[in-house]
Structure 1
Amino acid sequence: MVQLPEPCNEKSLAFKAGYQTIAELSKDRIKASGNQVSNECTDPLKHIDIGFRVLKIDSSNMAEVYYKPDAISQTDLFAQVDNVKEDRTEEDLLFQVMLDWGVDLSLPIKRETIDGKAVFYVADNALVACFDKSAGITEAFVKTLVNDSGREGPMRLVFRDAGFASDSAKINVEQVLKQLSPHTDVKSI
């Protein structure tokens, strides 16, 4: 469903019930429909997924870095260390990557913690993402990610560029992945 945040008519029952926009009303209608379907299901062994996602269009997650060489000073370079806008969450980055790679936004997403880092698995191994920015992405972490997860190597793997322990760690991670999971498409943002 696609719904613009169109304001409710102030004379409508929806507005009087506290709904400011048609999108808010639509979300509650979907929840109520899902609950009704769930309540009508009499088979105790059958699990019905009544969840849904609400996505909003926003600007890019990436910081704008359109500077001419003579318009930037050496002190400004420290502001360019992380290329992601400060107010963006890991989920924001995940959905941008999914859109960039053409991955269906309705696929199931699991969040796991590996070595203290949040790792997202989209449709098991269609896309694996870690946006940790604590400079803790190392070869050992990637080996754990690929080998110890009990899964086949991911089709696509994405990291946050600022999450690598060092430039050499990033290069080494790429080489480790070529050996352990050569079919994996790797990207860092």
Structure 2
Amino acid sequence: MGFRVLRIDSSNFKDFYLTPGETAQESLFDFADNVKEGRSDLDLLFEVLPKLGIPYSAKIEERMLAGRKVFFVDGDKLAACFDANVGSDTIEEMAKAKPWYAVIRDSSMADDATHANYEELFRTYSPDTVPQVI
């Protein structure tokens, strides 16, 4: 038994709603990572939960899949990974768990091939899963 104490804070994501006139070529690399500094994996997870209709009281389990930490929430309702250098092997293992939803951080993907194959791996192993990239 236990309980969670949460506090309301601003979004974990940077505000990137800019017009073309407000950006410069030199500043484009500032937009490579959309998460604010100092935010943890759990911060990201708790921001995703209400967007998917999952209560904050849901059971959260951490599992290691292909060397990366993956959060499984409410059994198989959500699989979320926010680690760095997540490869196709981790995503394949997530898909084989057949969650309702899968979430991964955009900057977490190891390479372009992983990014390109993300949704396809879920179509192959778990077609009913709704994969999302944040």
**Is TM > 0.5 for Structure 1 vs Structure 2?**
yes
CA offset at residue 139 of structure 1? 2.1
Q: Report what 2:92 is aligned to.
A: 143
Q: CA RMSD in A?
A: 1.4
Residue of structure 1 aligned with 2:74, choices 118, 123, 130:
123
Write the distance in 2 (CA, Å) between the matches of 1:140 and 1:160. Answer: 16
Write the distance in 1 (CA, Å) between the matches of 2:41 and 2:127. Answer: 26
Length-normalised TM-score, structure 2: 0.92
Letter in 1 for 2:14: A
**SS state at 1:187 partner:** strand
Higher relative contact order at CA 8 Å, sep ≥6: structure 1 or structure 2? 2
| Stretches of 4+ aligned residues off by more than 6 angstroms | none
Q: Report what 1:185 is aligned to.
A: 130
**Long gaps (5+) in structure 1:** 1-48
**Long gaps (5+) in structure 2:** none
**SS state at 1:186 partner:** strand
**SS state at 1:54 partner:** coil
The percent of aligned pairs where both chains have the same amino acid is 37
Write the distance in 1 (CA, Å) between the matches of 2:66 and 2:117. Answer: 18
Write the distance in 2 (CA, Å) between the matches of 1:116 and 1:89. Answer: 19
Aligned 8 A contact 2:60 2:73 in 1: yes
Length-normalised TM-score, structure 1: 0.67
Higher-Rg structure is 1
Aligned 8 A contact 1:157 1:185 in 2: yes
Letter in 1 for 2:91: V
Q: Report what 2:104 is aligned to.
A: 159
Aligned 8 A contact 2:95 2:121 in 1: no
CA offset at residue 186 of structure 1? 0.6
Write the distance in 2 (CA, Å) between the matches of 1:166 and 1:181. Answer: 22
Write the distance in 2 (CA, Å) between the matches of 1:108 and 1:83. Answer: 27
Q: Report what 1:52 is aligned to.
A: 3
CA offset at residue 140 of structure 1? 1.8
Please give the per-residue CA displacement for 1:125-157, whole angstroms capped at 9, x wherever unaligned: 11110011x2x222222122333xxxx411110
CA offset at residue 114 of structure 1? 2.3
